[in-house]
Amino acid sequence: MHNLKKKILSLAIPAALNNLLDTIQLLVDTLMIGRISSEAVAAVGLSGQLIILIYAFLSLFYTGTGALVSRLYGAKDIESANKTIFSTAVVSFFISIPFFILLNRYSSFYFSFMGTSETVSQLGEMYIYFLSFSIPFIFVGSVLFSGLSAFGDTKTPLYIAIFTNSLNTFLNYCLIFGHCGLPKLEVEGAAISTTISYVIEVFIYIYLFLKGKDNFKIVPSFSFDLLKRTLKVGLPASVEKIFSFSSFLIFVKIVALFGTVTLAGYQIGLRIEGLAFMPGFGFATAAMVLMGQFLGAKRVDYAEKSVLETIKIGSIFMGSVGIALVLFSEEISSLFSNDMKTVEEASLYLKIVGISQAPLAFDFILNGALRGAGATKITLIINNISFWFFRIIPAYIVAIFTKEIFYVYLIMVFETFIKGFLLWIFFKKGVWKEIEV
């Protein structure tokens, strides 16, 4: 068991730190943009929600690659694992083109749907226009990142993230505020900085893939069979994410009913809460990789033990961060805006969601483990039923009749507990042990 804990931590900590760096980067972006205006914060925040929706489509490739490659790696079929990565990366690039066009040309429809003010819409459309050029790189990069992680290497992505996030911070400082002899571009500058960082990050992954780092190397052989197996797992995961993130946008729209200041506070709160998410994402990655590798090696007992141990450790990590969110909500929120009403709204959000961080660990880790086992159809059903029936519908009713954002946030926390309970019931039934990938 000691070796299992060590393995979990060796995978989870670098993965968590990698995601933490991304979250810190978002916080830095918000911190800098918060010095412009509340409208700028709302615009970039809403733009981020749209990008997250695009990320839902990435699950088609990201989840399928992680599940299949980890199994093949566990079965010591390294050549097929690399063929899977190559085949999926090629297809992901071509699939990314329509998404680039949609974001580049038609983002105005999104902001119109969200019902934002004219200023927020204009800033958001400009931000999305420049960020859209990174979409093909994000698609390909997600496959290479997932493949390398499935090999059990979560440290290299961490080192890459340290470099690219540092670069992004420097470029933000220069382009948002006009330092280092560069023009002051504000929101436009933030988008350009992020795009440049994404592009460079993916070129580093491609270099490692071409160079042949350890077992992670290019095998330029397209396999329709391996691609089909990848998409078999990835398609339900992608549909789940699309519905989940679409539903999440509807939840954001409900929050937007309370005005720009509440929306801006909510966006800041989300960015800060992302710090608590990071251990969860890291342990979810560990759960997915170990589940796939142990099942590939025909060690079902160790697959189950790894999940239970990951839940135990992950809950402690996220619960601890949740306590910090409750205790220091105002102090942290005040770092990201000069407007006291916005700070109050962000602080309210953090105080409420802080109590849900430990059960949220169950959600993250069990979702990761079940996807690693190929049980993506089940996570599709559970996550979306829970989100709609226990969050979206009750939140809308409460928003209309009480006009109090406090109760909307309470419903959100309540749904987190329900979802974790439903995922736990399915996991304990053990149906995932019989799924073929």
Query: Is it the case that residue 363 has pLDDT exceeding 60?
Result: yes
pLDDT at 199: 94
Q: What is the pLDDT of residue 27?
A: 67
C-alpha 203/C-alpha 143 separation (Å) is: 13
CB-CB contact of 194 with 131 (8 Å) = yes
Mean pLDDT of 252-277: 84
Q: How many domains does the chain divide into? A: 1
For residue 75, what are the contacts with CB-CB under 8 A and spacing of at least 6?
296, 297
Question: Distance between CA atoms of 398 and 411, rounded to whole angstroms?
Answer: 9
As given in the structure block, the two tokens for residue 306 are: 């790894």
Full residue range of the structural domain in which residue 416 is found = 2-434
Residue 2 above 60 pLDDT?
no
68 or 39, higher pLDDT = 68
Average pLDDT over the chain reads 87
pLDDT of residue 364: 93
pLDDT recorded at residue 321: 87
Tell me phi and psi for residue 75, to 5 degrees: -85, 5
pLDDT tens string 117-158: 788 888 888 989 998 999 999 999 999 999 998 888 888 999
The span from the CA of 343 to the CA of 340, in Å, is 5
Nearest CA among 277, 304, 278, 317 for reference residue 366: 304
Q: Report the DSSP beta bridge partners of residue 216.
A: 213
Calculate the alpha carbon distances from 393 to 240, 242, 390 in Å. Answer: 18, 18, 7
Identify the pLDDT of residue 23: 67
What is the model's pLDDT at position 352? Answer: 92
What DSSP letter does each residue of 158-218 carry, written as one string?
A: HHHHHHHHHHHHHHHHHHHHT-TT----THHHHHHHHHHHHHHHHHHHHHHHHHTBTTB--
> Residue 15 belongs to what H/E stretch?
helix 2-33
Is the confidence at residue 389, as pLDDT, over 60?
A: yes
% of the chain residues with pLDDT over 90? 36
Q: Are 190 and 199 in contact (CB under 8 A)?
A: no
Summarised one tens digit per residue, pLDDT across range 346-359 is 999 999 999 889 88
pLDDT band at 366 (very low <50, low <70, confident <90, very high): very high
Per-residue pLDDT averaged across 5-24, rounded? Answer: 79
Q: How confident is the model at residue 238 (pLDDT cuts 50, 70, 90)?
A: confident
Strand partners, 213: 216
Residue 224 has pLDDT above 60, yes or no: yes
Average of pLDDT values for 305-323? 90
The answer on pLDDT for 279 being more than 60 is yes
